[in-house]
Amino acid sequence: MSNILVIAQQDGNRLSQATARAVACAGAIGGDVTVAVFADDTAALGKEAAALEGVSKVVAIERPENKDRLAALLAPQIAELSKDYSHVLMASTTFGKDVLPRAAALAGRAMVTDVMEVLGERKFKRPIYAGNVIVTVEVPGDATVFASARAASWKPVGGGGNADVEARQLDVELPAHSEYVRLERDESDRPDLQSAPKVVSGGRGVGSKENFDVIYSLADKMGAAVGASRAAVDAGFVPNDMQVGQTGKIIAPELYVAIGISGAIQHLTGIKDAGTIVAINKDPEAPIFEVADVGLVGDLFKVLPELEAELGKTS
């Protein structure tokens, strides 16, 4: 039976939903699921991890160096901890992509990225070529499986669990070449882009940074997160942490509204698991209409005020 280690992701105060998605992937593999929590104070985070459905145990690795969650410092600890497990999983978020490959390299193991389906204990499906091809990969039986779970492909597990929390000390020398300086991030009252059930995104067709206010306005009316295409990011309309697509965030909202987005394959890769896709574009030949469940051909600057007005009637 598999003995699976899931590396928790958190913001310093709470676990991220990505952890619950990785646990869901672990559950599909089957076996005992342990969640590892790294922090300078693991009490609250360990309790939260223990409540996740399907978790058998939580190991809490508490040391001052884990306060700021630097990938260079977490990786050797994960590599050491991995010796006791058949699988090591982490959600394929920006942070997960930074941490887990380092740990796999230190452990001398190859890594399977973006697992979207489990076919067996060591057999998985993952996308390549911007999602145009799905390949099956199998890990040799004598190797620990290091794998990242494609977050958009897994629904987060619920709560209700009651796993034991075990404090663990690791005799690992940590590197001194990396240090935490500061964290810079934009604060927003809007929902988180990667976990929001509704997302409104704007593309090059919005025209300018100032014009992006129409996207924010509609999103706020809908209680949605705001995203953007790479073209909009490259044009300087919005910061790059709002980018959706192959080189941005991979998301799976229940509703995705694409406004002024042509639908390049790199963008479509980021939304392929969305429930319902609505596209608004003045070009009837835009590729986005080929994947949209609902499409509207029209000038977004005329359509959006009318749409907001209709939303106002129902609110």
- The pLDDT tens digits of the residues spanning 50-75 come to 999 999 999 999 999 999 999 999 99
Rounded distance between C-alpha atoms, residue 10 and residue 46, angstroms: 11
**Domain ranges in the chain?**
3-167, 198-314
- The pLDDT tens digits of the residues spanning 200-225 come to 999 999 999 999 999 999 999 999 99
Residue % of the chain over a pLDDT of 90: 81
Rounded distance between C-alpha atoms, residue 48 and residue 14, angstroms: 8
Q: Report CA torsion sign: 245, 114, 66, 61.
A: positive
Q: pLDDT-derived band of residue 42, with 50, 70 and 90 as boundaries?
A: very high
Closest by alpha carbon to 91, among 62, 120, 113, 76?
Answer: 113
Do 3-167 and 198-314 have matching folds? yes
Report the pLDDT value the prediction gives residue 72, as an integer from 0 to 100: 96
Rounded distance between C-alpha atoms, residue 194 and residue 225, angstroms: 9
Res 47 pLDDT > 90: yes
Res 315 pLDDT > 90: no
Res 237 pLDDT > 90: yes
* Beta bridge partner(s), residue 61: 38
Res 305 pLDDT > 90: yes
- The pLDDT tens digits of the residues spanning 149-205 come to 998 899 999 998 999 999 999 999 999 888 888 877 766 778 889 889 999 999 999
Residues 6+ apart with CB under 8 A from 100: 7, 78, 88, 90, 111, 146, 148
- The pLDDT tens digits of the residues spanning 130-141 come to 778 999 999 988
Reading the block at residue 141, the tokens are 């039986």
CB atoms inside a 10 Å sphere around CB 33:
29
Average pLDDT over residues 300-315: 88
Residue % of the chain over a pLDDT of 70: 99
Q: What does the radius of gyration of the chain's CA atoms come to, in whole angstroms?
A: 21
* Beta bridge partner(s), residue 124: 118, 137
Helix (H, G, I), strand (E, B) or coil at 221: helix
Closest by alpha carbon to 38, among 4, 57, 11?
Answer: 11
Report the pLDDT value the prediction gives residue 190, as an integer from 0 to 100: 86
Closest by alpha carbon to 58, among 72, 28, 80, 37?
Answer: 37
At the top level of CATH, the class of 198-314 is: alpha beta
Per the CB < 8 A criterion, the answer to whether 292 and 262 are in contact is no
pTM of the model: 0.84
Report the pLDDT value the prediction gives residue 186, as an integer from 0 to 100: 67
With 0-12 CB in 10 A as exposed, 13-18 as middle and 19+ as buried, what is 286?
Answer: buried
Average pLDDT over residues 255-284: 95
Amino acid identity at 302: K
- Tell the CATH superfamily of the 3-167 domain: HUPs (3.40.50.620)
